[in-house]
Chain A
Amino acid sequence: QVHLQEAGPGLVKPSETLSLTCTVSGTSISSHYWSWIRQPPGKGLEWIGYIYNSGSAKYNPSFKSRVTISLDTSRSQSSLKVKSVTTADTAVYYCARGGRWNPDWGQGTLVTVSS
């Protein structure tokens, strides 16, 4: 059974960098695409991007190059970094298996951007 667990600071100051990790178990991280999706409180879902083992990543242009997704196969982790955050980046951040559709999701982690 595939299990994903997001981790990282729950509070980030404006203009700083949001950094999250997603630890994967139950499958080889090298065999799949891994996506990040976020959901502002009480709102809908927003696709951030995905990465594959080759290191090739695809991002949502709406983030204007603020986003980086990476893989650490030795730790079975995917990482998300969002630079220069504002209050609009406050959301639950999910990691998920798959690049097109997502059959497995982490529980999500709430990140609040506030001074």
Chain B
Amino acid sequence: DIVMTQSPDSLTVSLGERATINCKSGQSVLYSSDNQNYLAWYQQKPGQPPKLLIYWASTRESGVPDRFSGGGSGTDFTLTISSLQAEDVAVYYCQQYYSPPYTFGQGTKLEIK
């Protein structure tokens, strides 16, 4: 199984400031034949199902605000929120879909300072 490790486990950021969450995979999730990174990011608020934010490591899902961006390649990835809003308080997960079983990071809890 590909182990996904996120850092930090929790993050406190002021409103309007930048938030960056890191995700590291135990092996590369870059598929050479299509040059795509098989990685997604989700946001989960309390009592709600996860919401897809990003797929292919950097493609924003329809309707997701452009303050959310994904980057990285190979084994190291980031989710960046450029200007934190109150509604962004949530737990964020990365997920690899390169190789079953698809695996998630342990989650990063984002709070407002």
Instruction: Report whether B52 and A103 are in contact in the complex, using a CB–CB cutoff of 8 Å.
Output: yes
Residues of chain A with a CB closer than 8 A to B93's CB: 44-45
A33 to chain B, nearest CB (A): 11
Q: How many of B's residues come within 8 Å of A, CB to CB? A: 22
Instruction: Report whether A47 and B102 are in contact in the complex, using a CB–CB cutoff of 8 Å.
Output: yes
Nearest residue, chain A, Cβ from B63: A103
- Asked if A46 CB lies within 8 Å of chain B CBs, one says yes
Of A46, A94, A103, A107, which one neighbours B61 at CB under 8 angstroms?
A103
Instruction: Report whether B40 and A44 are in contact in the complex, using a CB–CB cutoff of 8 Å.
Output: no
Chain B interface SS verdict (over half): loop
Chain A interface SS verdict (over half): loop
Instruction: Report whether B52 and A101 are in contact in the complex, using a CB–CB cutoff of 8 Å.
Output: yes
- Asked if B58 CB lies within 8 Å of chain A CBs, one says no
Instruction: Report whether B100 and A60 are in contact in the complex, using a CB–CB cutoff of 8 Å.
Output: yes
- Asked if A58 CB lies within 8 Å of chain B CBs, one says yes
Which of B8-55 touch A at CB < 8 Å?
38, 40, 42, 48-52, 55
- Asked if B85 CB lies within 8 Å of chain A CBs, one says no
Which 4 A-B pairs rank lowest in CB-CB distance, beginning with the nearest?
A105-B49, A100-B97, A60-B101, A101-B55
